[in-house]
Structure 1
Amino acid sequence: MPPKGTVFLAVPLPPSFLLPRSCLQPSKRAAQQTRSFGIKSIEPPKLNPYNNAPGLPGLLSTPRAAYNRKIQADVLPLRTGALAIKKGMTAIYNQETGERIPCTVLQLDSNQVIHHKTMKEHGYWAVCVGMGRKDPKNITKPELGHFSAQEVPPKRYLQEFRVRDEMGMLSVGEQIKASWFLDGQFVDTRADCKGKGFQGVMKRWGFGGQPRSHGHSLSHRSLGSTGNGQGGGSRVYPGKKMPGRMGGQRVTVQNLKVLQTDDEKGIVLVNGAVAGPKGGVVMIQDALKKAWPDAPPPPKPAKVAEEARKAVGAKLGSAPQEKLKTE
């Protein structure tokens, strides 16, 4: 305590730009004490960058939640698809207008339902479709037992087709013919495109190459400069187009119109080009972005109940190899 009679003089403070920064900003300890005593901070509350609107539920990362989001977004087809072999391309002519229409010939080879994936056991609805023929002596014993229990012949190619709900499930053993797709409807095709191997930038990305003038010996098809100077960080940016492996990836071609179908020969004629070489396997399924011209026939109700699964499980130990159906 100062002694009695002490006189205090009011000294004006210097300008703010002359004061140290510690006098202008509160310390971290003072800010922590302010929060601990329950005093409202002047800082705005931090918002979730993935859900800024108040009252909205957070996104769930479970497989069931992801499946429900797909159903709400209408990205799952109602019916199963089929497997086909690409035979090549041809063209047909419109008799009324004389227009030449390029098309791809796809042939279905003994498509048959092999297995089911249910929501209760696997978390989603799917139909496993098999195509082609395979000698029983060339497959493993687990696969042989699976085909024997399902009472279907061995298939060379197997593929799952996801559907929206159990209404799109077909019974095990039911065949899918070319008439499964209606004339005039639109389909989506998925196949592996042709693999080109390791290629340069001119073939892979369409670069123009180096000039053909003096001083460019043996560098006409080369990449050239890849990195920036000092202003760009003196480095090569990620994603730079360079030589590398070309092709061989899965390609989806959407909204191809079905021109003709032939049940006897198993041929589906679609308008336009389909990825992949001749003889490649192509997945065909109803288009997601186009509607049917006519309502498709309702599929037969599939046996996906507990009784059907128990019957299949009972055959696993007693199905001999001689009972395999061969076509």
Structure 2
Amino acid sequence: MKGIIGKKIGMTSIFGADGKQTACTIIEAGPCTVTQVKTQDTDGYTALQLAFGDKKEKHSTKAELNHFAKAQTAAKKFVKEFRNYSIEKALGETITVDIFAEGESVEVVGTTKGKGFQGVVKRHGFSGVGEASHGQHDRQRAPGSIGGSSYPSRVFKGMRMAGRMGGDRVMMKGLKVVKIFPEKNYILISGSVPGHNGSIVLIQK
């Protein structure tokens, strides 16, 4: 496995050699610093801990500052562990977007946009109870029946109802690396990735 931490910049589209237009997401991936190397002998499994994004020292605890000092780097905002990293890196080394190649298939993990408390029409795609005729009042977006009366005398677990929507951790698979700009640490991923502009995402393979 290999991966990198990035920040979603926005979306654009590019034209390929065949003239086809491809919608892409721009991600500022890295540079990430290796802040810890875990091995089978010391931790029971192998992993690389990567850190991304600078952070002011006054907003960091002493434990964090001492941890980052071992890697001879400044305080960082985001830390993520990647298990069974396929590229050998030492403590304090930097990982850039060069670990990926154009045309490569990757997975992107992010947190979806939070949409707050939503009804069943928006959250689950319900069509509402029916028309506004025949004495019905404000039923266009209602959920309808949610359970029986005498039996089972309760609402089954998992019933699709109104509630909080969004804010979920989602992995998008089968996305392709369309283009890489190493000088800007930009990587263009085909399609959309979860999260708002400025949110943190993980690109891995």
Shift of 1:235: 2.9
What is the letter of the counterpart of residue 210 of structure 1? Answer: V
Structure 2: tracts of 5 or more residues without a match: none
Structure 1: tracts of 5 or more residues without a match: 1-76, 287-327
Shift of 1:229: 5.5
Any conservation in 2 of the 1:163–1:169 contact (CA below 8 Å)? Answer: no
2:180 aligns with: 261
* Aligned counterparts, 1:262-281, within 5 A: 262-281=181-200
User: 2 CA distance for matches of 1:229 and 1:112?
Assistant: 60
Asked which structure has the greater RCO (Cα within 8 Å, sep 6+), the reply is 2
Name whichever structure is richer in helix by fraction.
Answer: 1
Shift of 1:110: 2.8
1:94 aligns with: 16
2:118 aligns with: 199
User: 1 CA distance for matches of 2:182 and 2:66?
Assistant: 31
Q: Does 1:112 align with 2:37?
A: no
1:310 aligns with: none
Aligned residue among 275, 284, 287 for 2:203: 284
Q: Normalising to structure 1: TM-score of the pair?
A: 0.59
User: 2 CA distance for matches of 1:150 and 1:196?
Assistant: 39
Q: Which has the larger radius of gyration?
A: 1
Percent identity over the alignment is 39
Aligned residue among 221, 234, 259 for 2:141: 221
2:59 aligns with: 138
Q: Deviations over 1:91-139 (max 9, x none)?
A: 111232x211111111124311111222223221111111111111221
1:240 aligns with: 159
Any conservation in 2 of the 1:127–1:169 contact (CA below 8 Å)? Answer: no
Any conservation in 2 of the 1:126–1:169 contact (CA below 8 Å)? Answer: no
* Aligned counterparts, 1:6-17, within 5 A: none
1:172 aligns with: 91
Any conservation in 1 of the 2:4–2:202 contact (CA below 8 Å)? Answer: yes
What is the letter of the counterpart of residue 94 of structure 1? Answer: G
Shift of 1:218: 2.5
The 3 A distance-change label for structure 1 pair 169 and 95 is closer
What is the letter of the counterpart of residue 202 of structure 2? Answer: M
Any conservation in 2 of the 1:112–1:174 contact (CA below 8 Å)? Answer: yes
Supply the RMSD in Å over aligned alpha carbons.
Answer: 1.6
2:49 aligns with: 128
What is the letter of the counterpart of residue 88 of structure 1? Answer: G
Any conservation in 2 of the 1:89–1:104 contact (CA below 8 Å)? Answer: yes
Q: Deviations over 1:258-300 (max 9, x none)?
A: 11111100001111110111000010111xxxxxxxxxxxxxx
* Aligned counterparts, 1:18-97, within 5 A: 77=1, 80-96=2-18
Q: Deviations over 1:163-185 (max 9, x none)?
A: 16xx6441111111121101111
User: 1 CA distance for matches of 2:73 and 2:126?
Assistant: 52
